[in-house]
Copies of this chain bind each other. A is one copy, B any other.
């Protein structure tokens, strides 16, 4: 493997000079620069990033932790983040935490061990205190999908409460009052917040909350299917189902359809997130748009600004700048049943 030493020897200069050329210092004559560059070229030299990091004390990398690497939600989130970071010529490190608390801790530990200059965290299990502790340990962080008191300027998320309030209201506007709800796991922050939104909307409309219309899901297709089964088997009466997210909604629609119940003619269904397949399924899903790709973009831009003072990291035309307002996307899965 070629090292800086060999380059310096070929070019007939010192190590320091080669290093300067690499780092674009202006303390070097053009003539010397050329010599060094030519030497690097002919040797096929490639700096060892480990050594660079060790020596300079910065790793030029941003770490990201998310639950899963794939899927219609995490995929775009990660992809957006990566795009901006690579564009800024920094390294991008992702780890999947797979959702449980211990793994999340390990994942963050790993990222810290890599001496990332900054962290983008999508934490589902860590407590506010733990997050504050990490932040206080000196590393810059950006939190996705959390709102932690004391770290307000590091949080980046849409308003889940508002989102599901909007969707519940939409259902109500369309004449629904018996609205079932297939929730996400209640130990997840966003699931809880989405439940609150539902409650708020109900309260505002003076519709009493019927606990028997609530079933817990898992944010997945299977949860949607199971939820419908429970609801139907218990012979509950309802005209609409508010789902914790789009996957759940899809599962619900599937199960309803299988049982010969038509969506939205017999029962309306509304989702949350607006992931890729939402507009592909039949009926096209009415849902709340969560601009997840943009969140990835912005989170990266934020951390780049904080850590490296890089401004304008986001390409023009893609910037949303902080306005992650949940937005209703009305498609085909909700029927107006007002007489």
A contact set with B: CB distance below 8 Å: 46-51, 53-54, 59, 68-72, 75-76, 78-79, 82-83, 86, 91-96, 109-110, 112-115, 250, 276-277, 280-282
Cβ of A96 and Cβ of B82 under 8 Å apart? yes
Chain multiplicity (copies):
2
Cβ of B79 and Cβ of A68 under 8 Å apart? yes
Contact of A79 among B46, B70, B276 (CB under 8 A): B70
Can you offer 21 A-B residue contacts whose CB atoms are under 8 A? Answer: A48-B113, A49-B113, A49-B114, A50-B53, A50-B59, A50-B114, A68-B79, A69-B78, A70-B75, A75-B75, A82-B95, A82-B96, A86-B95, A86-B96, A91-B114, A250-B280, A277-B277, A277-B280, A280-B280, A280-B281, A281-B281
Q: Chain B residues near A82: list those with CB within 8 A.
A: 69, 94-96
Q: Chain B residues near A96: list those with CB within 8 A.
A: 79, 82-83, 86
Q: Chain B residues near A68: list those with CB within 8 A.
A: 79
Q: Chain B residues near A114: list those with CB within 8 A.
A: 49-50, 91
Please report the C-alpha to C-alpha distance between residue A250 and residue B280 in the assembled complex, in whole angstroms. Answer: 8
Q: Which 10 A-B pairs have the closest CB atoms?
A: A70-B75, A282-B282, A70-B79, A69-B79, A277-B277, A75-B75, A50-B53, A50-B54, A49-B113, A50-B50
